[in-house]
Each structure stands twice: as structure tokens, then as C-alpha cells.
Amino acid sequence: MSSSPRPRPLPWLAPGETLPAPEQAWGAGDPVPGLLAAGGSLDVHSLLQAYGRGIFPWFSDDQPILWWSPDPRMVLQTARFRLHRSLARTLRRFSISPRCQIRFDHAFESVIQACSQVPRDGQAGTWILPDMIEAYLKLHRAGHAHSVETWIDGELVGGLYCVGIGRAVFGESMFALRPDASKIALAALVAFCRSHGVVQIDCQQNTSHLASLGAAEMPRAAFLSQVGHDVQQPGPQWLFEPVYWKTLLTARPTSTTT
């Protein structure tokens, strides 16, 4: 009886060692599709090198640092953001209320701490571990990790954090303490991106929630090509202006009420 072929060995990296090419990630016939390497470090230089090549870290507390480059890649094309009628109504009320505000980078640490309490799809516990929090705080201080925050009555009620390199934006995680608070933050990020020529937001992995908002899978090669172009472009100033809402609210919303 013939045995199944053994998977390619997974590269183990020393701290600071360069990651393999994204195309070398395990594929459909391997134990964990999309897994590229293990080890290395989460310093600012390593994270910028990784994201600039379409690679991201994701691991649990009983694992080493794991690096991923899935194929296909879940991506939200900002022009295809699905603004459902109910969310459009919420955004219109939010955008004109003096009680409501979108802030960027006002409370990054609070946002990532809140996100760390939200399990990722398919996981029982958090993946945003203390080492990850510290790494992204350093990336934030270096100007490449950003929070998009939903504030109501002076209270942080939801938001998300992402990585930005040039005009490449990589979404990480979001949270909500009130209904639609994370959707409002995502809509604000889309409005900001549209206003500054950012054509896509990386969503990393396929979820039904992201798909309902217009995200879709795209081949890794096409994703990497776009990232390679976007990271070379001058990045926007990460500041939200209320006028950005017009890029969403002047378009016809999706007819469904969900």
C-alpha cells in the first residue's frame, strides 16, 4: 500500500531571519494550507518586511510564532463595500449626531486590548497574546499600526486596528460593545480609504461576516501584485474627516435590510 507523500518541511527561522517567499506556503495538499514558516521575531522591522510581502503572523499561546500567506486571500475591495440599507441609516444618524465621533489612533492600546477579548473564527480563545499586543504597540508607535475608533458620548464603544504601509492596508481585528459599533468603524475605514486612493483592505481569512460586507477571495498572486504596488505609494495622513462619509452615503445602499 502506497503512503501519502510527506509535506514539505516547514522552515524554522532564527530571530531576524528573512521569511521565505509567500509562494512557498503550504498548499491544499499540505497539513495546514497557507502556513509559511515558524519562529523569527515580532520586532518592527520583521513585521514591516512581512506585511510588505503579504505575510502576517497568527498563532496561539501554545505555539511558536507562525507566519501565513493563504491562497486565496480574503480581501475587501473598497469600491465593493456592501452598504446595507440598515447600516446606511445607522451611518447617517451617526454622521450628523454631535454625540458620535470617529477617531483614529486616539486609544490604540484600548482597541487592541478589547480586540484581544474576541475569539477569532474557529478558535476557542484569543490569538492576540501579550507578545502580539506589545509588538503592535511598537508598530503603532512607529506609525504603521492604526486604530479606527467608534465613540459615543465620549465612550469608546467599538473599533478595529490595522496595519498601514504606504497605501496598503491590512485589517487585523475588531470589537463592538454596542450594536453596529464595529461595522461603523469598518465603514469609516472604507470611507477613508476611498478618499485616499486605497483600493483594497486585506481581511486575511474568509468569514461569513466579512463576505456579507462585500469582501471576497482573490488569488494570492493578484493580491501580492497589488500589495507590491501599494506599499511603494505615499501613505495618507491617518486622520478622519467627517466629509469622508460622503463617499459612502451618496451612493445607493444595497437593497437588503440585513
**Domains of the chain with bracketed CATH:** 12-70 (3.30.70.3550), 74-249 (3.40.630.70)
Q: What is the pLDDT of residue 257?
A: 46
Residue bearing the bigger pLDDT, 61 or 226? 226
Q: What is the mean pLDDT of residues 2-18?
A: 80
Q: Which residues have CB under 8 Å from 127's CB, separation 6+?
A: 58, 59, 60, 120
Q: What is the mean pLDDT of residues 189-214?
A: 95
Q: Does residue 237 register a pLDDT over 80?
A: yes
Sign of CA pseudo-dihedral 39, 44, 47, 48:
negative
What is the pLDDT of the chain when averaged over all its residues?
93
Q: Whole-model pTM?
A: 0.93
Q: What is the pLDDT of residue 205?
A: 87
How many Cβ atoms sit within 10 Å of the Cβ of residue 258?
9
Sign of CA pseudo-dihedral 17, 18, 22, 23:
negative
Q: What is the pLDDT of residue 258?
A: 45
Percent of the chain with pLDDT over 90: 85
Find where cell 481569512 sits.
205
Q: Does residue 122 register a pLDDT over 70?
A: no
Q: Does residue 188 register a pLDDT over 60?
A: yes
Q: What is the pLDDT of residue 56?
A: 98
Q: What is the pLDDT of residue 120?
A: 55
CB distance 144 to 161 below 8 Å = no
